[in-house]
Copies of this chain bind each other. A is one copy, B any other.
């Protein structure tokens, strides 16, 4: 269950403080000219230490490709890659060996496996998402060749929310600021809130909106591989994700059917479109040619810069002292991960759809 996807598949490996993290991408067709700089750019967008808003753990997150690419072009064979774990202060974690941090995975991993790597969260660390960036970035490159673009942005940090329709925003500006919100005024407010939260040693959650443009009608595999079910599975596999919705989502539960109909209209060429997009670009689990719009809720992460009461693995109460580094808000770093996972889903769906008709 460390493999994601059906045709385009990522198998990821790696603990936070092990030898390296990495993965194998299987199912990338032959013939893609790989843009290594784009992958680097996407990795940088995720890595810690890139701004004051996120954790200072300092990792270069340089990817080494070991196979599957020859003379700059994909071979159709599996693409193996590693990302070294460079800033490993393993001894920093000695105090956690026998302690279960509240709202972390320490206890559940022990319950499941018995044996656990306690350093930095081990396998449950969000560090694992760097491997997803690599596979997602490659998928995005293949999608671009088909005219499909995948964008994500921070649309809420705590109670600061950007409610504007994605179509009214300039999605080219997402990475212009440290919170990854394309509206500069909202971005400034979000930054302010994150700084406040950080100063209190606390953390805050938020929402990331994803927008996929240019996807043709026909992608998605009913009944269990519905496009939104695959997106949901992808998004909910990201660390700290606690909710997923598409189209009108939870807000739509208060609307009436008559308000939500996406009426069909023909354009001048007889091409069929819809007058609205309450459905978020998907009907019956299959893309309809509109923008695909979804939102992912992230909880405030559990690592705080405060002393926290908890228990040891023997059940003894103890105090976990505040330590030096923490992410007051993971949203900025999660934006490229949402893009990566969505890109993988879309490319997988695009490949699957090659077999929908004789």
Contact = CB atoms under 8 A, between A and B. Distances in A.
Given A29-B358, A32-B358, 8 more contacts: A2-B224, A11-B11, A13-B66, A76-B113, A114-B357, A242-B246, A243-B252, A252-B300
Contacts of A77: 2, 13, 15, 113, 117, 122-123, 222
A251 to B, nearest CB: 8
Contact of A242 (B242, B252, B310): B252
Contacts of A206: 253
A263 interface: yes
A255 interface: yes
The A interface, classified by DSSP as helix, strand, loop or mixed, is mixed
A102 interface: yes
B266 A158 contact: no
Given A3-B3, A115-B30, A64 B19 contact: yes
Contacts of A333: none
Contacts of A174: none
Interface string A236-250: 110000111111111
A104 interface: yes
A1 B224 contact: yes
Interface string A290-325: 000000011111111010111100111100000000
A260 B299 contact: yes
B108 A22 contact: no
Interface string A47-82: 000000000000000001111101001111111101
A11 B29 contact: no
A187 interface: no
Interface residues of A, number: 155
A237 B229 contact: yes
A341 to B, nearest CB: 10
Of A82, A236, A260, A352, most B-chain CB atoms within 10 Å = A236
B302 A261 contact: yes
A127 B223 CA distance: 12
Given A24-B11, A245-B243, A232 B236 contact: yes
Given A11-B78, A256-B197, A243 B242 contact: no
A204 B272 CA distance: 27
Interface stretch (A35-43, A162-170, A176-184, A279-287): A279-287
B357 A31 contact: yes
A57 B214 CA distance: 39
Contacts of A298: 253
A244 B247 contact: no
Given A26-B3, A123-B223, A287-B108, A158 B254 contact: yes
A122 B122 CA distance: 34
